[in-house]
Amino acid sequence: MTTGISSSKSIGFSAACLAILLVLPLIVPQFYIYTLALIFVISLLAMSLNMLVGHGGLYQFHHGVFYGVGAYTFALFITKTSLPAWVGFLAAPLVAATVGLLIGWFCVRLTKLYFGMLQISLGSLVWAIVFRWYSLTGGDDGISGIRVPSFLSSATGSYYFILILLVLCLIAMYFILYSPFGVTLTAIRDNPERCEALGINVRHHQLIAIVIATFFAGIAGMLYVVLERSAFPDLLFWYLSLEIFVMCLLGGWFTFPGPILGAAITEALKIYVGIYTEYWTMVLGIILILLIFFLPEGIMGYFLEKLKPRDSIRVPEA
Amino acid sequence: MLRVESLEKSFDGFRAVNGTGLVVEKHEIVAVIGPNGAGKTTLFKLITGHLKPEKGRIVFKGNDIAGQAPHKICKKGMSMSFQVVNLFHRLTVFQNVQVAVLSHQNKTRMLFSLAANQSVRETREILASVGLADKADRIGGSLSHGDRKVLEIAVALGNYPDLLIMDEPTAGLSPEETASTIDLIKRLSSELGLTILFCEHDMELVFSIAHRIMVMHQGRSLIQAEPNEVKNNRQVQEAYLGVSD
């Protein structure tokens, strides 16, 4: 792990942020509450992707698929069955992780870019199924008007639900990334060949990481449905996957909280630049170009490096 | 402990290793020498499973391990330090060694515990024994070349191997660093009772610490014998030490 945020300062900072977010619905208009909740959902998705990209060195190019699978699973459980809602809440991440296991099982046999290419192909296959299977998924119409449990029906209700789940997931992710497994995963990212030589079954560890990350993506998908009350095939389209990939790079992919910052910036741009021009992606594109040249480790990567003592920060090109 | 018999490996028709044989007994320090391109590194990679041999047997502790995956061979008690430094650049010095210890203790799949509380004592011991304890919190990639070569050995030690294989442990080191590495190798053999197999360019180093020496030339093993015998062998002198009449 490159950047520890376990110091008391960062715990204090996180607690202060959480306190502000908890009282915010009492003061600000509902539109902002909805926007924040959406950012939380996307943040969770980006964080789950970064477990693989930043910490695992796996180019999971089409991570959005598992978000979509989580969303559809939850939506279908609510609309097509009469089971209680909590079954849907549990099923969404489990089904996403199962699909993650299936796709990952093939992908870990390849490395680097080839891993990413196969992952895009298999992911697009899932998108095509969702897009075409009218009788189950409603095809390109998607599923809308999903009735969520009554405690989630108000904007503040779903805001708090999403915030609490986000915090729980972040704590879980933090512990996973700083566990022996997490350290091993970062070692595999840095040098898979050496890990093999140290007796570590690289593919097996990568597959475990994929299952964990897709599980969290499934939770994010379910939270999206809680917020939007609908699911549609765009959730599984490659465009979204690209967007969250950019969020990880933008925020700082070698840091723990970087993707949250990336998600917040991207979503805010989408909303505020989107008011003036429909070409808001151009602004994102320019930011991305600047990023590649000036902040290759992302915004948070840059600032965390500035704050660290001089001799421990230089990381040469591996 | 290790017996290699008539091993063969080619790259695009070039026989890098051609019927090589090698024997390493328990607690021995065995050196492999030979000119550049003699096939030393290829031989080591075949033994550790990074390359698959075409023919021949590699018997380690009584089992034929030829062609097995590196992580399986490693678990049998063999660990390698690499010629070109091969570390985890973004991890700290401590974590570099810790990963090896975690692997040895089968803890790499532990999810519900903090790494900061696992395998700490063992990792600190290894760092202290190679003299890197005071640099434990540095990022691996920020170390000097000399320290990285030492860390390279420390990572291999994290596996608690019975057989430690070192591919040119002193390549690119200053005379002082070389001296301390020789000292370290001697201590590993005498204090920990490790069996060591290494290859090296530095003749002085080889003849000063190896119990037995195997000479490789064009993928073949010319001789495997005690240092004095190797020095006086006519074939070796012609092929390698550059003496001819």
Taking Cα atoms as reference points, which of B157, B217, B197, B202 lies closest to residue B35? B217
Taking Cα atoms as reference points, which of B217, B236, B199, B238 lies closest to residue B19? B217
> What is the rounded average pLDDT for all residues in chain A?
89
Are residues B241 and B181 part of one domain?
yes
**A147 pLDDT more than 90:** no
Q: What integer pLDDT is reported at residue A309 of this predicted model?
A: 55
Which member of A182, A190, A199 has the closest CB to residue B104? A199
Taking Cα atoms as reference points, which of A259, A220, A223 lies closest to residue A243? A259
CA A240 to chain B, closest CA, distance in angstroms equals 29
Instruction: Please report which confidence band the pLDDT of residue B243 belongs to, taking 50, 70 and 90 as the band edges.
Output: low
**A66 pLDDT more than 50:** yes
| Residues B30-74: tens digit of each pLDDT | 999 888 778 888 899 999 988 898 888 999 998 899 889 889 999
Q: Could you give the C-alpha distances from A44 to A16, A85, A251, B48, B92, in angstroms and in order?
A: 19, 21, 13, 41, 28
Test B141 with A316 for CB contact under 8 angstroms.
yes
**A310 pLDDT more than 60:** no
Would you call B139 helix, strand, or coil by DSSP?
strand
Instruction: Please report which confidence band the pLDDT of residue A4 belongs to, taking 50, 70 and 90 as the band edges.
Output: very low
Q: What integer pLDDT is reported at residue A3 of this predicted model?
A: 43
Taking the model in full, what pTM does it have?
0.88
From chain B, the residues in CB contact with A205 under 8 A are 108-109
Which member of A180, A208, A311 has the closest CB to residue B115? A180
Most A-contacting residue of B108, B112, B144 (CB-CB within 10 A), to test interface: B108
User: In chain B, which among 104-143 make CB contacts under 8 A with chain A?
Assistant: 104, 107-116, 118-119, 137-139, 141-142
- Range among A33-42, B57-66, B204-213 with highest mean pLDDT value: A33-42
Are residues B172 and B56 part of one domain?
yes
Are residues B232 and B173 part of one domain?
yes
Are residues B238 and B174 part of one domain?
yes
Instruction: Please report which confidence band the pLDDT of residue A150 belongs to, taking 50, 70 and 90 as the band edges.
Output: confident
Test B88 with A176 for CB contact under 8 angstroms.
no
* Number of domains into which chain B is organized: 2
Which member of B71, B87, B91 has the closest CB to residue A200? B71
**A12 pLDDT more than 50:** yes
Are residues B167 and B69 part of one domain?
yes
**B135 pLDDT more than 70:** yes
In eight-state DSSP terms, residue B237 is I
Instruction: Please report which confidence band the pLDDT of residue B139 belongs to, taking 50, 70 and 90 as the band edges.
Output: very high
Contacts of B112 (CB under 8 A, 6+ apart): A175, A179
Q: What integer pLDDT is reported at residue A168 of this predicted model?
A: 96
Are residues B190 and B171 part of one domain?
yes
| Residues A185-244: tens digit of each pLDDT | 999 999 998 998 899 999 999 999 999 999 999 999 999 999 999 999 999 999 899 999
What's CA A172's distance to the chain center, in Å? 14
**B241 pLDDT more than 70:** no
Test B99 with A196 for CB contact under 8 angstroms.
no
Test A312 with B107 for CB contact under 8 angstroms.
no
Residue for token pair 């980006």: A46
Among B125, B160, B195, give the residue marking a domain's end.
B160
Are residues B168 and B68 part of one domain?
yes
Test A201 with B71 for CB contact under 8 angstroms.
yes
Q: What integer pLDDT is reported at residue A311 of this predicted model?
A: 45
Taking Cα atoms as reference points, which of A114, A139, A129, A15 lies closest to residue A58? A114
| Residues B74-109: tens digit of each pLDDT | 989 999 988 877 899 999 999 999 999 999 999 999
Most A-contacting residue of B88, B96, B138, B143 (CB-CB within 10 A), to test interface: B88
Instruction: Please report which confidence band the pLDDT of residue B240 belongs to, taking 50, 70 and 90 as the band edges.
Output: low
**Can you tell me the distance from the alpha carbon of A210 to that of A119, in angstroms, rounded to the nearest whole number?**
11
Q: Which residues pair with B32 in a beta bridge?
A: B199, B214
Question: CATH number of the domain that B167 lies in?
Answer: 3.40.50.300
Taking Cα atoms as reference points, which of B57, B51, B42, B66 lies closest to residue B167? B42
**Can you tell me the distance from the alpha carbon of A186 to that of A188, in angstroms, rounded to the nearest whole number?**
5
**Can you tell me the distance from the alpha carbon of B147 to that of B47, in angstroms, rounded to the nearest whole number?**
26
**Can you tell me the distance from the alpha carbon of B63 to that of B30, in angstroms, rounded to the nearest whole number?**
20
**A316 pLDDT more than 70:** no
ipTM for this prediction: 0.84
In eight-state DSSP terms, residue B241 is I
Contacts of A311 (CB under 8 A, 6+ apart): B138, B142
Print the domain residue range for B102. 86-160
From chain B, the residues in CB contact with A211 under 8 A are none
Are residues B165 and B71 part of one domain?
yes
Among B133, B160, B187, give the residue marking a domain's end.
B160
**For residues B195 and B1, is the Cβ–Cβ distance under 8 A?**
yes
**A307 pLDDT more than 70:** yes
**Can you tell me the distance from the alpha carbon of B111 to that of A152, in angstroms, rounded to the nearest whole number?**
32
Are residues B241 and B173 part of one domain?
yes
Are residues B109 and B92 part of one domain?
yes
Among B160, B184, B201, give the residue marking a domain's end.
B160
Confirm or reject contact between B97 and chain A (CB < 8 A).
no
Are residues B201 and B147 part of one domain?
no
**Can you tell me the distance from the alpha carbon of B223 to that of B22, in angstroms, rounded to the nearest whole number?**
9
Considering only alpha carbons, which residue of chain A is nearest residue B118? A180
Which member of A179, A208, A318 has the closest CB to residue B141? A318
Test A205 with B109 for CB contact under 8 angstroms.
yes
**Can you tell me the distance from the alpha carbon of A204 to that of B103, in angstroms, rounded to the nearest whole number?**
13
Q: What integer pLDDT is reported at residue B104 of this predicted model?
A: 92
Instruction: Please report which confidence band the pLDDT of residue A317 belongs to, taking 50, 70 and 90 as the band edges.
Output: very low
Are residues B231 and B176 part of one domain?
yes
| Residues A247-294: tens digit of each pLDDT | 999 998 889 999 999 999 999 888 888 888 878 778 888 888 888 888
